[in-house]
Amino acid sequence: MIKRNNDKLPANPIEAQGLLIKAVYKKFDKEALPIIRTVCQKQGKALGLKIKNKLTKNNLTTVAKAFSKSFDQKFVKIVSISDEKFHIRGTKCPFGLENTSRELCEAVMVIDHEYFREAVDDKIKLKILKTVADGDPYCDTIYEI
């Protein structure tokens, strides 16, 4: 007979990916970060190419608006959008990285950074001002050309 596990199941593929990322990080600590970063970079590049090919304009404003459709508006708020800067704040990590570490957040956020680099401009910079992964009350993230 198979024993049933009563752990909370992930609500979506991103939460499932977060469970895997956290398990690998827990087992291998900082040694896992380059692997996590590399895989996340590939994921971000693939997503960025996909949205780039869907949109007729690939400026930061247009791509940021498309990107914002992918997150839960209850937890993430747009502070500002322009062709030079996209600023968002969130109270919940879609990967469930709350209270893990800033370095894990930075490795996973390569997904979004690479998404914008591929879809808009490879000169886009990512600034993570605050992160719930490091125990901050919210994430504060800026993408800037």
The predicted-structure confidence for 75-87, as pLDDT tens digits, reads as follows 999 999 999 999 9
- Give pLDDT, residue 5: 64
DSSP per residue over 9-74, as a string?
A: PPSSHHHHHHHHHHHHHHHHGGGGHHHHHHHHHHHHHHHHHHHHHH-S--SHHHHHHHHHTTS-TT
Task: Give dist(CA 109, CA 103) in Å, integer.
Answer: 10
Domains of the chain: 13-144 (3.30.1380.20)
pLDDT above 90 (res 70): no
The predicted-structure confidence for 25-48, as pLDDT tens digits, reads as follows 999 999 999 999 999 999 999 999
Task: Indicate the range of 1-15, 23-37, 58-72, 84-98 predicted with least confidence.
Answer: 1-15
Task: Give dist(CA 75, CA 71) in Å, integer.
Answer: 8
pTM of the predicted model as reported, rounded to 2 decimal places: 0.92
Alpha-carbon distance values, 102 to 51, 109, 124, 135 (Å)? 28, 10, 20, 9
Q: CB neighbours of 27 closer than 8 A, spacing ≥ 6?
A: none
Residue 73: band (very low, low, confident or very high) from pLDDT cuts 50, 70, 90: confident
pLDDT above 60 (res 1): no
Alpha-carbon distance values, 101 to 31, 90, 98, 106, 116 (Å)? 14, 16, 8, 9, 23
What's the mean pLDDT in 71-76?
90
What's the mean pLDDT in 82-99?
97
Q: Is 108 helix (H, G, I), strand (E, B) or coil?
A: helix
Residue 7: band (very low, low, confident or very high) from pLDDT cuts 50, 70, 90: confident
- What does the block give as tokens for 103? 């370095």
- Give pLDDT, residue 71: 87
Please state the φ and ψ torsions of residue 111, each to the nearest 5 degrees: -55, -55
Alpha-carbon distance values, 62 to 37, 45, 73 (Å)? 26, 17, 18
